[in-house]
Amino acid sequence: MNLSLRRFAVAAGCMMLATQLFADEPKRPECIAPASPGGGFDLTCKLVQSALINEKILTKPMRVTYMPGGVGAVAYNAVVAQRPADAGTLVAWSSGSLLNLAQGKFGRFDENAVRWLAAVGTSYGAIAVKADSPYKNLDDLVKALKADPSKVVIGSGGTVGSQDWMQTALIAKAAGINPRDLRYVALEGGGEIATALLGGHIQVGSTDISDSMPHILSGDMRLLAVFAEKRLDEPEMKNIPTAKEQGYDIVWPVVRGFYLGPKVTDAEYNWWKDAFDKLLASEDFAKLRDQRELFPFAMTGQELDTYVKKQVADYKTLAKEFGLIQ
């Protein structure tokens, strides 16, 4: 084969490969944030919405839609029962989703009902108050709870047993307070928690640090504690104390990622897995993740599936300790 023919063959092969790749690209990509706008699920969807276009993995933007209800339960059931083979639909999940799955809060479907795709970052749980709150640290909050728990209204994403509930329950347990005596208002995600807190409808928000940072930077909100092993290195976070340094041995990472419907084909699943493997190795993605106050946590495919199943098992043990399940 002469040089010009060889070049033609190579070019034709590249064009065929590109055509195959674009043929596999989902036609109507969508990311479902299973909560109201403004919280962690919204943040997670918008992170990949930007990154997939920046990395030229998608040729047209992914739309973000909202499906609040049960901190992920409504979206989980809708995808499994009504859109199981829709390869274009990613759904955001968090550690809180796995905790709810462990307690059977997603109805008849368990952790084996979807195809776990990718984890793209982690945040940490946090306890938030308004900037002018009389509570300056966790001890102030615990003192008020011991005096009269009914006078401290705590906003959390979800009801008793949710991730946000668990964070304050662990503080209560460490302080010798019955978590069932705490006064909760169930809200739908970090966006609603921030709105209720800043509006004076609740006194304390059990949330996570990535949801809270925009309000902290604006000066409207303070964090009494972050549930990390040690103080976080980010310049705007380094002055936020951990629960551990205040004498409460509680660490609560909030991993964030995506799943697909159960009947998405292997070829379609692998297209997305390859896309996320590329994304998670990208320096540009790392910058976008950092801008959203998320920390590195990269996992895809079978490794993630194994991680999710172990986390659900561990959460079942924790839920039993608090009498949430038998």
Contact 157, 193 (CB under 8 A): yes
Q: What is the 3-state secondary structure (H, E, C) of 31-95?
A: EEECCCCCCHHHHHHHHHHHHHHHCCCCCCCCEEEECCCHHHHHHHHHHHHHCCCCCCEEEEEEH
Pick the closest to residue 47 from 71, 64, 67, 68 (CA basis): 64
pTM for this structure? 0.82
Q: Looking at residue 189, what is its pLDDT? A: 75
Contact 40, 254 (CB under 8 A): yes
What domains are there in the chain, each with its CATH number? 3-123+255-321 (3.40.190.150), 124-253 (3.40.190.10)
CB atoms within 10 A of CB 237: 18
- Residues above pLDDT 90, as percent of the chain: 78
Q: Looking at residue 22, what is its pLDDT? A: 41
More confident residue, 23 or 206: 206
> Phi/psi of residue 234, each to 5°?
-60, 135
Give the span between the Cα atoms of 206 and 172, in whole angstroms. Answer: 13
More confident residue, 159 or 278: 278
Segment 104-160, tens digit of pLDDT:
999 999 999 999 999 999 999 999 999 999 999 999 999 999 999 999 999 998 788
234 confidence band (pLDDT: 50, 70, 90):
confident
The alpha-helical segments, DSSP class H, found in the chain are 3-24, 40-54, 73-82, 95-102, 138-147, 163-174, 190-198, 209-217, 266-280, 283-291, 301-321
DSSP-assigned letters across all residues of 3-40: HHHHHHHHHHHHHHHHHHHHHHS-SS-EEEESS-TTSH
**Residues 21-43, mean pLDDT to the nearest whole number:** 85
Contact 184, 154 (CB under 8 A): yes
Q: What is the mean pLDDT of the chain?
A: 91
List 65's β-bridge partners, or say none.
Answer: 32
Pick the closest to residue 133 from 195, 187, 204 (CA basis): 204
Segment 52-105, tens digit of pLDDT:
999 999 998 999 999 998 879 999 999 999 999 999 999 999 999 999 999 999
Buried-state track 263-273, b at ≥16 Cβ within 10 A, e below 16 = ebeeebbebbb
More confident residue, 42 or 14: 42
